[in-house]
Amino acid sequence: MTFFSFANLKRLFLILVITAVIALMTGTPGSSTAPPTTGLHGSFLERVSWFGLFAAPRWLLFFTLGVIVWVVVSLYRPRARAIRRKANVVFALPKELTNHRTTRVALIVVALVLVILLPKFVHEQFWVYLIVEQIGVYILLALGLNVVVGFAGLLDLGFAAFYAIGAYTTAWLTGALPQPALFHHPIPTLWVIPIGIVAAMVFGVLLGTPTLRLRGDYLAIVTLGFALIIDDFVETQSGVTGGGVGSALVRHPSLNLGFLHVHWGTDPTPYYYLCLLFIAVFIIVFTSLEHSRIGRAWVAIREDEVAAESVGINPLKYKVMAFAVGAASGGFGGVMTAGLVGIVTPGLFTFQVSVAVLVLVIFGGMGSIWGVALGAIVIQTATSYLDNYQPWGYQLQDLYMYIGALLIIMMIFRPAGLLPSRRRAREFADAEGGADVHSDEVLSGDEP
């Protein structure tokens, strides 16, 4: 028994550090007016109840929990391999299931029925509203970013810009901005949908043509820079955009085509179905794109741009195309938000939103459409729950702490995501086994 071996003691140290960090994360918050040690003091010295039995300082509780975890880990260490094998079976389950065509179709049908009937089960309008605003729109955004990051391998840190374009186009054309609508003639919100999508795509081309010559982290920082420029611009040009306060009220969609009368009020249910329809359309379009000539070109560029160019693929053209296609669903997300929320403010499109969408894509599995949709549902449900119920002393602003931790943990332990795309999963497995040397591997020596 090597209970007190050096490696095992090192593990104890690591576990205790992690529990200390968790204690800090979940502890009492400090503030800018309180003395700087308030947070520390509250996180470690505050007396808490131990499962209702007796009270003791927090640090003792976390220390004990850490030691218990360590003992359990140490005891099960010899059997680790067997456990891991079992865990792999569980992890492989979704893959096994989706491998058969019939189960796949059955799963999709069940999911579709559930999703269509969902507003019938949810009685409170507030929750339907939240489902559209927090889950539906974010699925759209994640699907769009997935084309850029997952298919074409371009790290875009300014994706919220497309979202903003869609929303501000809506506000502008419906006459909710200080800048008068086109021809001084506001149009109904539903008509803005195609215009908003096209506007976002055009913007994607405009943004992509100069920037997409850059690679990797340079591209990431330029997209980030552009997003910040747009944010600054929107906030400073209050005469055009309404500035930091945002737009006036965007009217609810109403339409009169003679045979079709549409008048949506505050009930979010029609928005739900509209959103659902467009999610389905985007999933179908993106899936067929993925398996088309264009999709294969994206994969080729992602894997090795030089090689792709040498076989006659114009990288810039296809990268710009990825930007434009991804922008389409981002733009529609913006139109949805503007129509549903009714007010467009710069706060809806911050850098944090870009990162949040990126998290959805990575968590779900880069390049896997169903994975990304599932990731968006899981994470957005969790954050909506946390925001609305605030359990265990959770605060609204703490969200990005957990998101940051989640990103690191995902990258270390499951970089391919929840439901990885088959190709990506194989790439990560290859890299881990050291089977082939990636052209973009860090520290591989030959930098392009």
Q: Which residues bind other proteins (CB under 8 A)?
A: 24-25, 29-33, 36, 39-40, 149, 153, 155, 210-211, 213-214, 216-218, 220-222, 224-226, 228-229, 232-233, 235-236, 351, 355, 358, 362, 366, 395, 397-401, 403-408, 410-412, 415, 427-428, 431-432, 434, 438, 440-445, 447
Measured from the CB atom, the residue of 187 and 220 that comes closer to other proteins is 220
Query: Is the Cα dihedral 403, 404, 405, 407 positive or negative?
Result: positive
Tell me the closest approach of the beta carbon of residue 196 to other proteins, in angstroms.
25
Tell me the closest approach of the beta carbon of residue 166 to other proteins, in angstroms.
22
Cβ–Cβ under 8 Å, residues 143 and 369: yes
Tell me the closest approach of the beta carbon of residue 177 to other proteins, in angstroms.
18
Measured from the CB atom, the residue of 217 and 267 that comes closer to other proteins is 217
| DSSP sequence for 66-114 | HHHHHHHHHHHGGGHHHHHHHHHHHHHHHHHHHHSHHHHHHHHHHHHHH
Alpha-carbon distance 4 to 11, whole Å?
10
Distances (CA, A) of 366 to 320, 325, 348, 441, 444: 19, 16, 24, 18, 23
Measured from the CB atom, the residue of 94 and 415 that comes closer to other proteins is 415
Alpha-carbon distance 118 to 296, whole Å?
36
Measured from the CB atom, the residue of 186 and 235 that comes closer to other proteins is 235
Measured from the CB atom, the residue of 288 and 444 that comes closer to other proteins is 444
Type of residue numbered 100: H
Burial string for 371-409 (b: 16+ CB within 10 Å, else e) reads: bbbbbbbebbeebbebeeeeeeeeeeeebeeebeeebee
Residues in CB range of 443: below 8 A, 6 or more apart: none
Tell me the closest approach of the beta carbon of residue 197 to other proteins, in angstroms.
26
Measured from the CB atom, the residue of 274 and 366 that comes closer to other proteins is 366
Tell me the closest approach of the beta carbon of residue 370 to other proteins, in angstroms.
20
Measured from the CB atom, the residue of 57 and 225 that comes closer to other proteins is 225
Cβ–Cβ under 8 Å, residues 140 and 356: no
Tell me the closest approach of the beta carbon of residue 83 to other proteins, in angstroms.
20
Alpha-carbon distance 151 to 144, whole Å?
10
Measured from the CB atom, the residue of 180 and 393 that comes closer to other proteins is 393
Which one, of 132, 254, 154, lies nearest residue 213 by Cα?
Answer: 154
Tell me the closest approach of the beta carbon of residue 304 to other proteins, in angstroms.
12
Angle at 383 between CA 355 and CA 425, to 5 degrees: 55
